[in-house]
A and B are shown apart, each in its own frame.
Chain A
Amino acid sequence: MEASQTKPTARAVSLCPSGCALDSGLVRERLNRRVQVVAGKGGVGRTALSAALAVRAARAGHRTLLLEVDAPDSAAAQLHVAPAVDEPREVMNNLWLCRMSPPGAMREYALMVLRFKPLYNLVFENRLVKYLLRSIPSLGEFTMLGKAWFHTTENRVDGGPKYERVIIDAPATGHSVTFLSLARLVANVSPPGIMKQAAERMAAMVESDRDACLHVVTLPEEMPVNEGLELVAAAQDRLRMARGLGVVNRVLPPLLEPEERALVDGLEGGGPELQPYLRAARARADREAWQAEHAERFVEQSGLMTLQLPDLGAAGVRLADLDVFIEILDRAAGEGGAGG
């Protein structure tokens, strides 16, 4: 990974499909939805964005739950807090963190349905039954979606929602489409009963154009952009989910200002000892141009309002870097200077 020469700043620009300007009101509205799902190919920085969205909401005073679905790079590590467990735990003021794993979610769901722990232990802890449940395709994902839905419906004693914002760090692309489409699928194929009812309500949550949206994260590279575009298409056709923001992560900040370019090109006529510098500058410019091409392709074909997040170097995301992301989100929402 090429480290950026310029100190990382919130300088990266926002992009939007040709013929429209970035509407900060619209961005703000998306960032204020109750349920925000963050999806994208593995390794593009879903967790970093999810953490930034969650911390931003929590700092703005909203009780926020960050749900991790099978995330290998955990949000806990990025937030420098203890690893998430199966139950929501408050890790910062107003910010709860919770992990979702198929066995954990299955257990919770089963206990909720059965309401009788000894029976659960007897049946579900049985080796054969464990095996059997594992062989039902997507049952694990379905119960995780159920858990996510359950947390959005939890209320406090005063009747208000327990969590005002729920950020879901979804699994990698293919799996997240499966994951999010399960509710509708189960609702459609189940006979009337407890499962169908639950699935209907989950589907209503996913498909709500008022309360939920899907953010798509990508990198300015061929495959991540392709997967991002597939996800956008799937969100529209199969998931019927509202569009959130596009995010192109790890964009190299431009090394040279346009007027500096001519100066650097002028080195060509200089001595041979200058050639290595020219070579390094060109390799960097090539990378930038190549990234810009992919970012543009994503924006034009997805039609999403898209933010670009800067490449912060190879090291893992630090708390300070989260602030860079949050600042960019604030700016795009026309709310500069918040946070800290």
Chain B
Amino acid sequence: MADPTLSEVLAQARCVVCVGQGGVGKTSTSAALAIEAARQGRRTAVLTIDPARRLANALGLPEIGNIEREVPKAAFEAAGLEAPEGKLTALMLDIKQAWDEVVDSYHPDPERKQRLLQNRLYEAMSSALAGSQEYMAMEKLYQLSTRTEDRLDVIILDTPPANHAVDFLEAPSRMLDALDNDATRWLLEPYERRRGIASRIFDAGSGLFIRTISRFTGTELLEDLAELLSGFQGMFQGFRDRAAAVRTILAAADTSFVVVSTPSESGLVDARAFRDRLRERQLRVGSVVLNRATPAPFLAGEAPAPEALARALASTPELAARLEALAMERAEEALAHREAAEELALETEGCAVVAVPQLPRDVHDLEGLERLRQGLFAPPPQR
């Protein structure tokens, strides 16, 4: 069976999750996929994590995040592009705000909620707690995919940069474990009885422990921590339920992962590792996108002509040699990139492997996204 094209993968998906290391063009790839989906006439939302400011502006996003905005059709027209048929919205994840929203909408107890939002450690926690970003991306995905009004046909999710594919999948449960475990429950027990941590110092059983830890952290820090954790009580079940619901979405038949990487040696190692980790978990890898492939200087039917070059630059033979070396080096690199992509396609059944030629500039506006989109969805070059 022939492998699907990226266009087919996208057309069949309700949810597309872009994963990959930092700095490989994941955010712009997500945005370009979203534009293509909208061009297919579908109601599309793209959730980005950390876009460059100019790209955010290009998508019509305000400086502060968590607000879903429509990418105006006029913006496409102003860039000389045809506006997509489907409605396209974009939003950018803001961790602190996402936390506030989750606490605000799901906290069962108004009094605890206020105490939580005012806790001194709360703000530090929302940005510093490992896995917090991934968790919030999943909360947002849950929210977008379950909403009933203004329903979406497809959601494109950009994920935080990760070293391993499982980081994104496991971070939420790691984060929840850090907040809710035997240890935190043990610390909370006296707190919940409103006796304060200090009382524990005199407990026969745990006094030594609390006393020793507080010599290290100070009693106040422990009190703050207990209050923070106590503030979350009543929310953990909801956290876990929604995380489980998102796992179901991610494993669904109409969800596709797109591994974004580069065709460099290390990029290929990453791409394979991401692909394998996802497949081990029975998740669908719809596509591997290799950004920044070197374009071949010699097009079909063209051949190296060093003598002609030497003749044309007869007065500067050293310059001719330098140019020749540059062209040959780029040709070699282009060939290596193309072959690597072909090899990857061969060994990855049922997956669209796409090598996108290096663009002359960064992608930071709709025009750049359009070029990237063309690179992603262009028919494969003639052999």
Contacts and interface: CB of A to CB of B under 8 A. Distances in A.
Nearest to B294: A2
Interface in B89-137: 120-121, 124-125, 127-129
Interface string B282-323: 000000000000110111001111001100110010010011
Nearest to A286: B360
B330 interface: yes
Contacts of B216: 109-110, 113-114
Interface stretch (B145-153, B175-183, B240-248, B342-350): B175-183
B202 interface: no
A109 to B, nearest CB: 7
A310 B209 CA distance: 54
Contact of B22 (A42, A130, A138, A194): A42
B235 interface: no
A287 B326 CA distance: 13
B238 interface: no
B183 A279 contact: no
Nearest to B215: A113
Contacts, number: 167
A113 B212 CA distance: 10
A191 B53 CA distance: 39
Nearest to A195: B218
A255 B327 CA distance: 12
A284 interface: yes
Interface in A84-122: 109-110, 113-114, 119, 122
B237 interface: no
A271 B186 contact: no
A280 B326 contact: yes
Nearest to B319: A260
Nearest to B212: A123
Contact of B23 (A43, A131, A132, A194): A43
B305 A280 contact: no
A5 interface: yes
Contacts of B209: 123, 126, 129
A114 B216 CA distance: 8
Contacts of B221: 136, 190, 195
Interface residues of A, number: 69
Given A273-B308, A279-B297, A131 B329 contact: no
A128 B182 contact: yes
Given A274-B305, A277-B309, A222 B54 contact: yes
B187 interface: yes
Interface string B208-222: 110011011110110
A277 B323 contact: yes
B275 to A, nearest CB: 21
Interface string B167-195: 00000000000110111101100000000
A255 B129 CA distance: 46
B364 interface: yes
A82 B244 CA distance: 44
A279 B229 CA distance: 61
A135 interface: yes
A223 B23 contact: yes
Given A123-B208, A131-B182, A195-B217, A5 B364 contact: no
A1 interface: yes
Interface of B: 22-23, 52-54, 120-121, 124-125, 127-129, 161, 163, 178-179, 181-184, 186-187, 208-209, 212-213, 215-218, 220-221, 225, 229, 264-265, 294-295, 297-299, 302-305, 308-309, 312-313, 316, 319, 322-327, 329-331, 333, 358, 360-362, 364
Question: Which 5 interchain pairs have the tightest Cβ spacing?
Answer: A131-B183, A273-B305, A128-B183, A280-B297, A280-B327
